[in-house]
Amino acid sequence: MRNLVTLVIMLAAAAVALSATKGAAVIPAEITKQDQSGKIFERPDMERTEHENGNVTLDVTTLLSSDKKFASGMYQAGKSYWEAKDAYGVDEFMYFLEGGVKLTSSDGTVQTINAGEAVTIPKEWTGIWETDGYRKIWVIYSDDGSAFE
């Protein structure tokens, strides 16, 4: 029995040593309550974009899958209006923490998503996106990975 315990300990130690040589540990990507309040946008990897219309967006990717087809994060934007004449291009789940969005699909269907609500937009969607501003948690799937290049 003692030899078995010793063997298990040695194998466990070898596994730990082997994983250490492969790089950092893989851990789940968390968005804390503090992050949700806007603190996440203080991270050094935050992307700030100033658009032609003066709108500023803030974006943090918290996870990008190893195959680069799936990602999640948080996004904040001010007032904006745009029309998706071509397909949206990615499947995106959004949970709105603040503000909201009015989506008018190309068939005329109108949906208003407010803080505390979620929506999933299919990659084939076309229509109009209108907002006075929002903060959201997003999850995106891009079957060819092009959305994250």
Which pLDDT tens digit goes with each residue over 70-98? 999 999 999 999 999 999 999 999 999 99
Phi, psi of 6 (to 5 degrees): -60, -45
Region 95-121: what's the mean pLDDT?
98
- Whether the pLDDT of residue 62 is over 70: the answer is yes
Q: Where are the domains of the chain?
A: 29-148
Please, what is the average pLDDT of the chain? 86
Region 124-145: what's the mean pLDDT?
95
Contact 37, 103 (CB under 8 A): no
Q: Which residues, including other chains, have CB under 8 Å from residue 121's CB and lie 6 or more apart?
A: 88, 91, 92, 94, 103
CATH number of 29-148: 2.60.120.10
